[in-house]
């Protein structure tokens, strides 16, 4: 344990050091001066302590209690100095942090304002009248970006790059195209071509065409009977065969008819492709009217169905769905031999009838 006088000297040094630290002065301690009561033995050649009448009195005997109190006082004093220094350091750090925050907010505000100006300038340069809420969406994106800038970031402008506005522009464009698509499809739903031109669109027309040829074939058989080519047995056999061929004739005609209907549907789908391409190519400032395209499709469907009979007849061409000659042959086989004039009567068929049957196709 240090003597009390030495503890007092240490306290004085601590006070000096603390004053220099708090004032941000040179913290180097001055060299200690010798104690006033130090004894200089340099003049004593013998090196023996002079105990004559002029010799100083010896230091008092150590007092443990006093020295303990002095030691505690020293520790308390040092703790007080350390606390004072800590408080001063915290104040300096707080002052610096506040200055850094102020500088950061200034940089952040400047970067944000620059980003806003970029968006407005870009919109003007594009010649876009902001009827689409682009700047509002951009402001929302800027606020979101601002919220993720780290505190005291030295370069907050890096969070407000030009791509932020370009992304908003692209998203807004896509949103407008989606709206146009939704509006178009509300008027022209998927599968519209089968709605405007259903499979049943040609049923009545095909039935009429088949009935015509069926009637003509029946008349041909009647004439054959009148000429004596067919008797009642042969005639009835031929007529039953003719009736049996009708279902097959309708099926063949329907197959051809579906091909005709598909050409009409293809025409409607071509209009639809153009309509959808218009949406794909749409950009800010363009005008797009879904109703106009829907009207073109409806008009195309009406035009096609109104001329469907002619298209079917052209598709059938010279096709004969019934073969009267084959029917007569079948009837003749069923009736057996008839009068010898039957062959002569058959050979005497009119040229017109021969021409009519010459183009027959299919065998029944």
**DSSP string across 268-297:** HHHHHHHHHHHHHT--TT----HHHHHHHH
Cα 297 to Cα 293: distance, rounded to the nearest angstrom: 6
- Is the same domain home to 233 and 342? yes
Is residue 148 included in any domain, yes or no? Answer: yes
What is the rounded average pLDDT for all residues in the chain? 84
Is residue 17 included in any domain, yes or no? Answer: no
- Is the same domain home to 227 and 331? yes
Cα distance from N-terminal residue to C-terminal residue, the chain: 135
Q: What is the mean pLDDT of residues 139-151?
A: 96
Question: Does the structure show a pLDDT above 80 at 37?
Answer: no
- Is the same domain home to 178 and 316? no
Cα 217 to Cα 245: distance, rounded to the nearest angstrom: 11
Question: Does the structure show a pLDDT above 60 at 343?
Answer: no
- Is the same domain home to 142 and 266? no
- Is the same domain home to 214 and 341? yes
In the 3-class helix/strand/coil scheme, how is 3-70 assigned residue by residue? CHHHHHHHHHHHHHHHHHHHCCCCCCCCCCCCCCCCCCCCCCCCCCCCCCCCCCCCCCCCCHHHHHHH
Give the pLDDT score at 61.
Answer: 80
Number of domains in the chain: 2
Give the pLDDT score at 170.
Answer: 96
Is residue 316 included in any domain, yes or no? Answer: yes
Give the pLDDT score at 48.
Answer: 46
Residue 258 sits at the vertex; the CA angle it makes with 253 and 259, to the nearest 5 degrees, is 100
Distances (CA, A) of 237 to 222, 228, 335: 12, 15, 8
Question: Does the structure show a pLDDT above 70 at 345?
Answer: no
Q: Is 213 left (phi over 0), alpha (psi -120 to 50) or beta?
A: alpha
Cβ pair 320, 213 in contact under 8 A: yes
- Is the same domain home to 180 and 202? no
- Is the same domain home to 198 and 334? yes
Is residue 25 included in any domain, yes or no? Answer: no
Give the pLDDT score at 20.
Answer: 59
Is residue 284 included in any domain, yes or no? Answer: yes
- Is the same domain home to 182 and 267? no
Paired tokens of 345: 């009567």
Give the pLDDT score at 201.
Answer: 97
Q: Which residue has the higher pLDDT, 199 or 12?
A: 199
Q: Which residue has the higher pLDDT, 342 or 9?
A: 9
- Is the same domain home to 218 and 256? yes
- Is the same domain home to 129 and 227? no
Q: Which residue has the higher pLDDT, 360 or 292?
A: 292
State pLDDT tens for residues 287-331.
999 999 999 999 999 999 999 999 999 999 999 999 999 999 999
Is residue 351 included in any domain, yes or no? Answer: yes
Is residue 36 included in any domain, yes or no? Answer: no
State pLDDT tens for residues 90-111.
999 999 889 999 999 999 999 9
Question: Does the structure show a pLDDT above 60 at 211?
Answer: yes
- Is the same domain home to 197 and 318? yes
Report pTM.
0.64
Give the pLDDT score at 1.
Answer: 53
Question: Does the structure show a pLDDT above 50 at 342?
Answer: no
**136 is in which domain, residue-wise?**
104-187
Paired tokens of 311: 């298209």
The structure tokens 């630290």 sit at: 21
Give the pLDDT score at 66.
Answer: 84
Give the pLDDT score at 31.
Answer: 47
Question: Does the structure show a pLDDT above 80 at 87?
Answer: yes
Give the pLDDT score at 14.
Answer: 66
Count other Cβ atoms within 10 Å, centred on residue 288: 17
- Is the same domain home to 229 and 318? yes
Is residue 238 included in any domain, yes or no? Answer: yes
Last residue of a domain, one of 187, 219, 248: 187
């Amino acid at each position: 344990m240090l003597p009390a006088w030495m503890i007092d000297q240490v306290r004085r040094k601590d006070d000096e050091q603390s004053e220099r630290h708090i004032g941000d002065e040179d913290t180097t301690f001055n060299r200690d001066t010798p104690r006033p009561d130090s004894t200089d033995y340099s003049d004593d050649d013998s090196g023996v302590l002079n105990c004559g009448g002029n010799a100083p009195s010896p230091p008092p005997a150590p007092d443990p209690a006093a020295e303990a109190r002095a030691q505690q006082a020293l520790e308390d004093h040092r703790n007080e100095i350390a606390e004072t220094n800590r408080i001063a350091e915290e104040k300096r750090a707080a002052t610096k942090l506040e200055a850094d925050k102020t500088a950061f907010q200034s940089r952040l505000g400047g970067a944000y304002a620059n980003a806003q100006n970029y968006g407005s300038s870009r919109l003007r340069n594009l010649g876009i009248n902001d009827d689409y809420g682009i700047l509002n969406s951009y402001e929302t994106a800027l606020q979101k970006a601002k919220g993720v800038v780290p505190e005291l970031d030295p370069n907050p402008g890096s969070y407000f790059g030009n791509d932020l506005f370009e992304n908003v522009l692209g998203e807004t464009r896509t949103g407008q195209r989606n709206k146009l698509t939704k509006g178009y499809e509300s008027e022209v739903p998927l599968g519209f071509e089968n709605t405007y031109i259903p499979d049943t669109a040609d049923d009545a027309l095909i039935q009429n065409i088949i009935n015509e040829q069926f009637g003509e074939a029946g008349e041909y058989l009647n004439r054959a009977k009148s000429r004596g080519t067919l008797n009642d047995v042969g005639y009835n056999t031929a007529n039953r065969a003719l009736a049996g061929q009708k279902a097959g004739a309708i099926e063949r005609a329907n197959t051809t008819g579906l091909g005709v209907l598909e050409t009409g549907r293809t025409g409607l789908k071509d209009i639809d492709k153009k309509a959808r391409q218009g949406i794909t190519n749409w950009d800010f400032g363009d005008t797009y009217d879904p109703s106009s395209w829907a009207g073109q499709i409806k008009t195309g469907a009406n035009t096609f169905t109104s001329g469907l009979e002619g298209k079917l007849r052209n598709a059938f061409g010279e096709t004969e769905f019934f073969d009267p000659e084959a029917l007569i042959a079948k009837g003749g086989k069923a009736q057996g031999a008839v009068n010898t004039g039957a062959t002569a009567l058959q050979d005497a068929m009119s040229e017109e009838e021969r021409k009519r049957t010459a183009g027959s196709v299919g065998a029944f």
